[in-house]
Structure 1
Amino acid sequence: MKLLTLISGALGAGLTVWLLARFGLGHVLGLLHQAGWGIVLVLAFHLVQVWFSALAWRAIAGGSPGRPRLGDFVLLRWVREGVNSLLPVAQVGGEFVSARLLRRRGMSLASATACTVCDLTTEMVTQIAFTITGLLILLALLGRSQVTDEVVGAILLACMAALGFVAGQWLGLASLFERGLMRLAGQFGWQGMEEIAGLHRAIRTLYGAPGPLAAALLHQSISWLLGTFEVWLALHFLGHEVSVAAALVIESLCQAVKAAGFVVPGALGVSEGGYIVVGGLFGLSPQVSIALSLVKRLREIGLGLPALAAWQWLEHHWTATPAASQVPGSTPERGGRIKAALDYGDAP
């Protein structure tokens, strides 16, 4: 797996370098220089998107025991994005990190994992809806083309994957995962895995609460839509105005391309290629499209590096609370042993 990551990362980096050389690094850098402090405003605007994503995550957590306050979810969403953007973790490592930090903040391991899995699912479902919206607007603006045909095929595959993911959770995939972990914990003497018991039940409970689920879907949808204005703002500072409808198409389809390129660390090269293809539909030159992609990457780096530092700080300053450490039904002594163990959420 590490070899595949290294190979895909090298290929992605090579593609990025080739695109910059092919279309003129100097021209692209000139556009970024023209954007100037506007890039900082794009970075700051993204924090609003982070806020709504955190609202969605907290909403789907519902009445989970030990649920932290909203500020903690905002902080963890920031960390989660930083890990997914800057580390070679196939865009899902941030979910593992955030689940473990939620546990250290006071939630049980089962509750922390359940609300994170459900949040990832609502994010996936709303992204598909966002992509479909972008495709419909593209068809209305420009009509059918080879690009739209390819996007339709990709959306169908994504819909099937999302439906399979949701159905698997409902039909017992989490239960199998839960039992497998418990069995391995017994065989290898892992401590702290008792807390994963009840994961399947916790996931079904969260999905069975229509109010929090609807709120999560609404906030996730708003978060995706805010990405439209991030693209519009970035292009404005790059000196190329587009309509809000065009910005929505660019953001929705390019985010879909980035998600499809999850095997490549940071979707290097894949994301840039997507911006060139989709941006070209609205008259953007390859140089402008690459500059737009680099503005996004500068935003990821500008927010991601402090997020990684925050992650390390939280690992050392958020200690597991009794509510997180003690398994329901266990004795205080047993809970204390679990808290001291090197388990899923604790650092030495």
Structure 2
Amino acid sequence: MRSAVIAPAPRPGRRGVVRAVLRRLPLVGTGLGLGLAVWLVAANDLAAVAGAFGRIGFVGLAAVVIVRAGIVLLCGLAWARILDGLSPAGAGAFATLRFVREGINTLLPVASVGGDVVGGRLLTFWGVAGPLAAASVLADMLFQVGTQALFALLGAGLLTQVQGEPAADLARWMLRALAVAGLVLAAFFAFQRTGAARFVECRLAALSRRLVREAEPRRPEGGSVQDALDAVWGRGRRGRIAQSVLLHLLAWTLGAAEVGIVLACIGVEGVTFSEVVVIEALSQAIKSAAFPIPSGLGVQEGGFVIVGALFGIDAGTAIALSLAKRVPDVVLGLPALIVWQNLEARRGGVRPPTPS
């Protein structure tokens, strides 16, 4: 009788290892960010943090949630302006999906970009062709990051007026970082406007055909993403693009109202409007620089501690400010995740995408 020979389990190839590492990066980032947040709280006076947070009160936190809802709504309207006249979806769909994008990016370990991918896919449930939905998300991300860079530049400019070497060092660091960000944004803009997206699509399609051994290439319904980008950036649409950019700028500026409300409720005196703008602009820039860490866990708190110290705000108050700004993430994010799941459950009853 022959003994059974057990074949050794196949070892994962290089691609499998890379995919496994990439899948775990958001979880690693979450762990690092959570550890940093816990360390920041433990390294400071916990009673001071709790006391400052308690002084905000229900009314203050409710005001912050209302302001954040207005910010997300503005971002949704900015997204809608990009596809105005090109898609059958109304402004309400874009506003709803913008809340879903924010909820996924802030509450799930997806490295702050997974919500944008999901939002583009969900947009097809409203009859928008897939390539056009993807193009709208790419353009919206460009406007969002570009306007944040402008807002951060405003904050860095105001920071140069603050006396002291720490403020000057931080301003110089921010200006260097913004210069690099400007190059990246220019490359992202060129990717959308010079046809590079079509080249990438062709290469990916060729690779896909080799992997699945398809004889006939299939053109995606509604054209290619580059065709959709050309439509978004086409002639006669500069007004809509300008409106989208202005709405994003207004949303970033309105974010300073959250800082002002929280500091006023805590009882911090002597902080001017320009200083509030600096705190919001630079702390958000620091958080965005650490985008691989979901929701900027720990990084946001550290950013408020660093920037707040320039204006005499103690670490306990700065951490309480950061925690207050996370309340809308949960209050608005949880219902958004429920809406996402309901949309997925009702997918079969939604009309299919139509070519644009």
TM-score (norm. length: structure 1) = 0.88
Of residues 194, 216, 233, the one that matches 2:261 is: 233
Alpha carbons 2:157, 2:171 under 8 Å: kept = no
Q: Percent identity?
A: 36
- Taking the aligned partners of 1:20 and 1:265, their CA distance within structure 2 comes to 19
User: Match of 1:295?
Assistant: 324
User: Match of 2:98?
Assistant: 77
Of residues 11, 26, 42, the one that matches 2:32 is: 11
Q: Are 2:47 and 1:26 equivalent residues in the alignment?
A: yes
Aligned 1:83-122 pairs, distance under 5 A = 83-122=104-143
Alpha carbons 2:65, 2:331 under 8 Å: kept = yes
Runs (5+) with no aligned partner, structure 2: 1-21
RMSD: 2.2
User: Match of 2:274?
Assistant: 245
Alpha carbons 1:182, 1:194 under 8 Å: kept = no
Alpha carbons 1:182, 1:193 under 8 Å: kept = no
Q: For residue 221 of structure 2, give the secondary structure of its aligned residue in structure 1.
A: helix
Q: Are 2:214 and 1:214 equivalent residues in the alignment?
A: no
- Taking the aligned partners of 1:149 and 1:168, their CA distance within structure 2 comes to 29
Q: For residue 36 of structure 1, give the secondary structure of its aligned residue in structure 2.
A: helix
Higher mean C-alpha displacement, 155-164 vs 311-320: 311-320
Q: CA deviation at 1:184?
A: 5.0
Number of residue pairs the alignment of both structures matches: 326
Q: CA deviation at 1:316?
A: 1.5
Q: CA deviation at 1:192?
A: 9.1
Runs (5+) with no aligned partner, structure 1: 329-348
Q: CA deviation at 1:265?
A: 2.0
User: Match of 2:291?
Assistant: 262
Q: Which amino acid aligns with 1:103?
A: T
- Taking the aligned partners of 2:208 and 2:120, their CA distance within structure 1 comes to 19
Q: Are 2:81 and 1:59 equivalent residues in the alignment?
A: yes
- Taking the aligned partners of 2:338 and 2:32, their CA distance within structure 1 comes to 28
Higher-Rg structure is: 2
Q: For residue 160 of structure 2, give the secondary structure of its aligned residue in structure 1.
A: helix
Q: Are 2:299 and 1:276 equivalent residues in the alignment?
A: no
Alpha carbons 1:227, 1:251 under 8 Å: kept = yes
Q: CA deviation at 1:185?
A: 5.2
Q: CA deviation at 1:271?
A: 1.1
User: Match of 1:203?
Assistant: 229
Q: CA deviation at 1:320?
A: 7.0
Q: For residue 182 of structure 1, give the secondary structure of its aligned residue in structure 2.
A: helix
For residues 208-242 of structure 1, the C-alpha deviation after alignment (integer angstroms, 9 at most, x for no partner) is 32111111111111111100111111211222242
Alpha carbons 2:126, 2:351 under 8 Å: kept = no
Alpha carbons 1:103, 1:109 under 8 Å: kept = yes
Alpha carbons 2:112, 2:293 under 8 Å: kept = no
| Counterparts in 2 of 1:131 and 1:320: CA distance versus 1, 3 Å | farther
Q: For residue 194 of structure 1, give the secondary structure of its aligned residue in structure 2.
A: coil
Q: For residue 312 of structure 2, give the secondary structure of its aligned residue in structure 1.
A: coil
TM-score (norm. length: structure 2) = 0.86
Alpha carbons 1:231, 1:251 under 8 Å: kept = yes
Q: CA deviation at 1:140?
A: 2.4
Q: For residue 195 of structure 1, give the secondary structure of its aligned residue in structure 2.
A: coil
